[in-house]
Amino acid sequence: MPPVMSDEQLLTSGDPEAFGTFYARYRSPIERYFAARLDDRETAADLAADTFASALLARRHFVPGATPAAGWLYTIAARRLVDHRRRTAVDRRRHESVAATIAVSGEASAELELDAPVATALLDELPDEQRQAVRAHVLGERGYDELADALRTSEAAVRQRVSRGLRCLRSPLLVYRAAQEVAREDRAYRFAGGHEQPLLTLTRREPLDCSSSASLVLARSGVFADDRAWTSGRLATDWGRPGEGRHVTVWANEEHVWIEFRLDPDHGERFDPTPSRLAPNSGWMTRANAPRPRDGAPRHWPGL
């Protein structure tokens, strides 16, 4: 019976079968090493195989006595684990970035499906380059690389067009959805309700007046810098910029405030919780073909 060769002898032997013996000796321990550090046994087996493949290539550089053969092998395994975790982290960040893009794209696409006249009208008003890029990428599901070739430009340029176009689509839709959400909360109206209160402390059933309700809508859609509800007079002078917005306008004076939406050129909608202003049996969101008499100062947010 031939003598049992040491790990060091197996690594330095010229016998092709020697490394096979070394592999058989350490395969299970190395797989257990990875399995103890990973949840996926299949990945653990793959990394073990990578470790031995690296060891096979590196064994010519192994110097007996410098380090035990087992320690040398586990050092390679540790490096494969670090490489795997680094790749996993990069892949996760890339996935999160892609997921964010898909979420934005999916949100815009959902709007196009759920309310085609509104979203189509918004899409039609985008600059030509943005409109074409959004239609092709979001609706046509064409990749950035394919579009870059077709448009004879860079992928970065196509991504920028899609990103800017989606942002222009989403901004007014975010305000619109926030208004619908607040309108559905079935709040009672109370004069001066919510004035100067922190918006985060307002319960879903707390009575509000028109200015506090408008402040809450604007805050939920990300176009309100303060954390407290404003009065009508302050909204009339301090929020956004003077003048009507392309799609969303806040009309306000010292006594009253409401929000008008023109997302679709064929109709308008108003958000207004004031009982004296509401038509019989209408809710806080009122669809109207003609705007309310404009007895307030118009304010708008850039991009809306």
Order of all β-strands in the sheet with 257-264:
241-242, 297-300, 248-252, 257-264, 267-271, 285-288
Distance CA 290, CA 245 (A): 16
The confidence band for 137, taking pLDDT boundaries of 50, 70 and 90, is confident
Least confident stretch, 69-83, 170-184, 257-271, 288-302: 288-302
pLDDT at 45: 87
Residue 62: C-alpha distances to residues 59, 70, 103, 266, 291 (Å): 5, 11, 51, 78, 83
Length of the chain: 304
Tell me the per-residue pLDDT of 271-301, one tens digit each, with 9 for 90 and over: 888 887 776 666 788 876 555 555 778 998 8
Handedness of CA 262, 263, 265, 267 (dihedral sign): negative
pLDDT of amino acid 97: 41
C-alpha closest to that of 301 among 217, 227, 199, 228:
217
Mean pLDDT for the chain overall: 79
Give SS3 for 286.
Answer: strand
Q: Which residues on adjacent β-strands are paired with residue 168?
A: none
Higher-confidence residue of 266 and 75: namely 75
Picking from 285, 257, 287, the residue whose alpha carbon sits closest to that of residue 184 is: 285
CA distances from 258 to 16, 116, 219, 274 (A): 84, 25, 15, 9
Distance CA 208, CA 124 (A): 36
Query: Which pLDDT score is estimated for 291?
Result: 52
Note the pLDDT of residue 112. 42
The pLDDT tens digits for 199-211 are 777 777 788 888 8
Domains of the chain: 7-91 (1.10.1740.10), 186-300 (no CATH)
pLDDT for res 109: 44
CA angle (81, 82, 84) in 5-degree steps = 65
Residue 11 has pLDDT above 60, yes or no: yes
Distance of CA 66 to the CA centre of its chain: 51
- Residues 35, 48: contact at Cβ < 8 Å? no
The per-residue pLDDT for 85 is: 83
Complete DSSP assignment for 10-31: HHH---HHHHHHHHHHHHHHHH
- DSSP line for 43-101: HHHHHHHHHHHHHHHHGGG--TTTS-HHHHHHHHHHHHHHHHHHHHHHHHHHHHHHHHH
The string of pLDDT tens digits covering residues 188-246 is 888 888 888 887 777 777 888 888 888 888 888 888 878 888 988 899 899 888 998 88
As a whole number of angstroms, the distance between CA 108 and CA 170 comes to 7
What is the value of pTM for the model shown?
A: 0.55
Q: Which of 10-19, 104-113, 121-130 has the lowest mean pLDDT?
A: 104-113
Give the pLDDT confidence of 105-122 residue by residue, as tens digits: 444 444 444 344 556 667
Minimum mean pLDDT range among 62-71, 118-127, 231-240: 118-127
Beta pairing partners, 271:
259, 285
Question: What local confidence, expressed as pLDDT, does residue 130 receive?
Answer: 82
